[in-house]
Amino acid sequence: MKVSELKQLLRKNGCFLIRDGGNHEVWYSPATNRKFAVPRHNTQDVPTGTYRSIMKAAGLIGRGDVT
């Protein structure tokens, strides 16, 4: 999955951008009340471990919604 596709998925599920960082953006999930980093390189693929970490912080893994 590309970073841009991941960001679209996060927006669709209620997450939003808080601020830009150097190499990452800081996002917030109202579902988990957590902040988390998302890479800024929209055309690159998201590594599997990074994807799972972001999805868990966003509250989209662990409920059986997305794997």
Structure-model confidence comparison of residues 67 and 27, the more confident one? 27
pLDDT digits (tens, 9 = 90+) for 2-15: 999 999 999 999 99
Is pLDDT at 22 greater than 90 in this prediction?
A: no
CATH for 23: 3.30.920.30
Domains contained in the chain, number: 1
How far apart, in whole angstroms, are the C-alpha atoms of residue 46 and residue 64?
20
- Which one, of 27, 31, 30, lies nearest residue 16 by Cα? 27
Residue 8: per-residue pLDDT: 96
Range of the domain at 18: 3-57
pLDDT band at 63 (very low <50, low <70, confident <90, very high): low
Residue 64 within a domain: no
Contact criterion met (CB below 8 Å) for 41 and 7: no
Task: Provide, for the chain, the percentages of residues in helix, strand and coil under a 3-state DSSP scheme, each rounded to the nearest 5.
Answer: 30, 30, 40
Q: Which residue is associated with the tokens 């966003």?
A: 58
